[in-house]
Amino acid sequence: MHRWLRLPAVILAGCMGAVVVSHAASRPVGLPFATRSEAMAPRAMAATSQPLATEAALEILRRGGSAVDAAIAANAVLGLTEPTGSGIGGDLFAIVWDPASGKLHGLNASGRAPRSLSLDYFRERGIERMPSYGPLPVTVPGAVDGWFELHGRFGRLPMKDVLEPAVRYARDGFPVTEVIAFAWERNVRALQEFPGFRETFMPDGRAPAKGEMFANPRLARTYETLAREGRDAFYRGDIARRIAAYMAENGGFLSYEDLAAHRSEWVEPVSTTYRGYRVWELPPNGQGIAALQMLNILEGYDIAAMGPGSADYLHVLTEAKKLVFEDRGRYYADPDFADVPVDRLISKEYAAARRALIDPERAADTYSPGDMPPAGADTVYLTVAGPDGMMVSLIQSNYRGMGSGMTPGDLGFVLQDRGEGFSLKAGHRNALEPGKRPFHTIIPAFVTRDGKPWMSFGVMGGDMQPQGHVQIIVNLVDFGMNLQEAGDAPRLQHGLNQRGEHRADEELRDGGVVLLETGFPPEVVEALRRRGHVVSEDQSGYRFGGYQAIRRDPVTGAYTGATESRKDGLAAGY
């Protein structure tokens, strides 16, 4: 994988000595040079992590489809072209701005644990932590039901037309792009021995390299079945029976009855304000409210005066994250199985009490979760906006890259390992229970201003996601960056180890590790270390997420788009 280089604000061009000055050169010192200009278009915009998916979305919009139709089309193409982060064996969450109703709609399309699997199975075998791969962490895949729920409410074109671009590429093939080829090879090392994986994802016995053509006719047939027979083909028809038989043959617990019982849930997005902007997330079982909690804490500081990339800002950002993730580990869970005090957690009063625990000069080794009143690795993110003003913020994932490795029959996709998000500690709010949804990392986001849509955005990447959401908002609101600069700016991720990981049931004991992306000055790194932070610098860009965003001009209705410089993305419109 190539390293992402920060370009200088002034580039000397060629032997003629011409000087090309960046559009960012007139901005305040400290703001980054964007890797590209923002994309702008008068009527429609799509931003995804893979160019063919963006083109598919625009194709559907031009044919009269809604933004939801276009988002489904893009997601289907990503399931083919970026199987390292997405696919119909995974889950989905979405926030939709509906111009007809003038409100946001949230969809939780995450699946549940098999009803025949309980903590007793693990206790009897002495297993203390859910495996990352194989049959045990497989939960019901919710993405397909999510597509049809979204389509049933907001779709215009028939599903056959919506899935046609993905079917075409699956049959004819496509050239694998650079970042995806890198991730594919990494996944192959871990997953190649699981039944069915090699046959689907390893032509010639290896991962496809950059520029090589890859086709998945098995997935094409599955998509055609969905287009012809609808969501019941996946949850009650032949596909469901084949998944269940495969799992039974290979030591799994996911059954036909689990698939048949699955339903997505329409939920009300929740929000907080940040300096006049209202930021929206979905409630648990996901971690979206962690971003809202962090923003509430940071709002009490003069972040703009601290400056982008400063040690002062990075210190309070890290400490806010530590505080919030302790609450995440204690309180976030499936609300069907636990009382989650969302209103209290995202309140300004609670944020003020938690903020008071931060020492501005010293990193904390540990925080305790806040007191509540008694109860009464990989992902894809995409966003699409249509001519009518509909905007879709959609995130979808297999969890750890290509999921569990379990690849049923000749269906062309891998099943997710989202069950790894369960705790195996009896009594934990997020402990495994039959039919329970696991703690979820994937979160779409949306921002409104004065009750009008302002921005649809997301940052994929496990625990990085709420941290990334916060850094994007701060970059835009406090530091005055444009949409592309806000994503290109170097990022921080705090975790419990040098991979940036922080399981939902783990507590902070030793202050954790601050991962810094290339681009922060050495004096900032040293200043953080003097405050007691353990700092590790990461030059790969691989651990800092994948960002896409679309912003709507409230006067003209035109769209501005931005995409992730760390991935193979494209923002484009018409």
- Every domain of the chain and the residues it spans: 38-563
Q: What is the dihedral of CA 278, 24, 558, 99, to 10 degrees?
A: -20
C-alpha span between 379 and 138 (Å, rounded): 16
Instruction: Identify the CA nearest to 471 among candidates 422, 544, 391, 565.
Output: 544
- Over the chain (574 residues), the average pLDDT of each successive run of 10 is 32 28 37 81 97 98 98 98 96 97 97 97 95 96 98 98 98 96 94 96 95 98 98 97 98 98 97 98 96 98 96 97 93 92 96 96 89 58 97 95 95 96 92 95 96 96 92 97 95 76 62 90 95 88 87 96 92 97
**Contacts of 121 by beta carbon, 8 Å cutoff, 6+ apart:** none
Which of the following is catalytic: 177, 200, 318, 379? Answer: 379
The token pair at 421 is 């998000």
pLDDT at 541: 64
Residue 435, burial from CB neighbour count under 10 angstroms (0-12, 13-18, 19+): middle
Q: In 122-178, at which residue ranges do the beta strands (DSSP E only) sit?
A: 174-175
- Would you say the C-alpha torsion 489, 495, 501, 506 has a positive or negative sign? negative
State phi, psi for 236 to the nearest 5 degrees: -135, -5
C-alpha span between 54 and 70 (Å, rounded): 9
Is 512 in contact with 467 (CB distance < 8 Å)? Answer: no
pLDDT at 28: 37
Is 421 in contact with 437 (CB distance < 8 Å)? Answer: no
The token pair at 339 is 């009382």
Prediction pTM value: 0.92
Q: For 314-358, give the secondary structure using H, E and C.
A: HHHHHHHHHHHHHHHHHHCCCCCCCCCCHHHHCCHHHHHHHHCCC
Instruction: Identify the CA nearest to 156 among candidates 66, 28, 256.
Output: 66
C-alpha span between 490 and 32 (Å, rounded): 8
Residue 302, burial from CB neighbour count under 10 angstroms (0-12, 13-18, 19+): exposed
Is 149 in contact with 235 (CB distance < 8 Å)? Answer: no
C-alpha span between 385 and 550 (Å, rounded): 7
pLDDT at 7: 33
Is 513 in contact with 497 (CB distance < 8 Å)? Answer: yes
Instruction: Give the count of beta carbons closer than 10 Å to the beta carbon of residue 51.
Output: 18
C-alpha span between 439 and 442 (Å, rounded): 10
| Known active-site residue 177 | no
pLDDT at 504: 59
Bridge partners of 538, per DSSP, are 517
Instruction: Identify the CA nearest to 212 among candidates 173, 170, 175, 172.
Output: 175
pLDDT at 9: 29
